[in-house]
């Protein structure tokens, strides 16, 4: 089976949906952010703070390459991963890419602790979400399929993904 890759903005539900989907399909679940934290031995927010975003993106690129070599897995890619051309190519060659789409309002509601998301730890997170979403739209639109998740719970999103497979 080809991998199932979940992409989309922070708070779109990639982790929760990915774990549930992997459980139902009885396959592995991996998350690029978690792989990065394990390799760097520190939380994402500390990597941003101590080493900066370019360093984070460099590690993310290596991790995405590594994750793309897996088989039979659900892979959740960090919200900014797909922007990079190499990451997109690696993920695309490894499986089916599904984008979970969400409105800025839902993203804000879902992300309880903005401090864990360095890019949203700013004075006006809603504006930042809107701007980033707009910038990233063309990249998210490169996914094989998209699912609007605003009105759905995780079980319903998983059902939609399973219907696509
Ligand atoms: C980021 C999303 C985060 C994490 C980092 C940067 C982004 O992952 O990789 O904070 O650029 O959108 P999640 O989408 O899993 O929160």
Ligand 1 centre to CA of 50 (Å) is: 16
DSSP code per residue over 34-60: HHHHHHHTS-HHHHHHHH-HHHHHHHH
Ligand 1 centre to CA of 85 (Å) is: 17
The Cα–Cα gap between 97 and 85 comes to 14
Question: What pTM was computed for the model?
Answer: 0.97
Q: Residue 112: is its pLDDT beyond 80?
A: no
- Location of structure tokens 């708070």: 11
Ligand 1 neighbour 80 (Cβ under 6 A): yes
Cβ partners under 8 Å of residue 143, min gap 6: 7, 82, 97, 98, 99
Per residue in 127-148, pLDDT (tens digit) is 999 999 999 999 999 999 999 9
Q: Residue 115: is its pLDDT beyond 90?
A: no
pLDDT at residue 114 in the model: 84
Pocket residue to mutate for ligand 1, from 79, 113, 116, 125, most atoms within 8 A of Cβ: 79
Ligand 1 neighbour 18 (Cβ under 6 A): no
Angle, in degrees to the nearest 10, between helices 53-68 and 44-51: 130
pLDDT at residue 135 in the model: 97
pLDDT at residue 138 in the model: 97
Ligand 1 neighbour 43 (Cβ under 6 A): no
pLDDT at residue 94 in the model: 97
Contact 30, 75 (CB under 8 A): yes
């Amino acid at each position: 089976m080809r991998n199932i890759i979940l992409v989309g903005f922070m708070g779109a539900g990639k982790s929760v949906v990915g774990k549930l989907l992997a459980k139902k399909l009885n396959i592995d679940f991996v998350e690029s952010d978690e792989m990065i934290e394990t390799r760097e031995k520190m939380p994402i927010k500390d990597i941003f703070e101590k080493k900066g975003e370019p360093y984070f993106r460099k590690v993310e690129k290596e991790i995405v390459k590594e994750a793309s070599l897996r088989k039979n897995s659900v892979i959740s890619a960090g919200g900014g991963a797909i922007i990079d051309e190499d990451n997109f190519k690696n993920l695309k060659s490894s499986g089916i890419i599904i984008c979970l789409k969400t409105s800025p309002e839902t993203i804000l509601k879902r992300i309880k602790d903005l401090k864990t998301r360095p890019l949203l730890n700013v004075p006006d997170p809603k504006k930042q979400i809107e701007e980033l979403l707009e910038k990233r739209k063309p990249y998210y639109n490169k996914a094989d399929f998209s699912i609007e998740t605003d009105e759905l719970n995780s079980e319903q999103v998983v059902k939609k993904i399973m219907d696509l497979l």
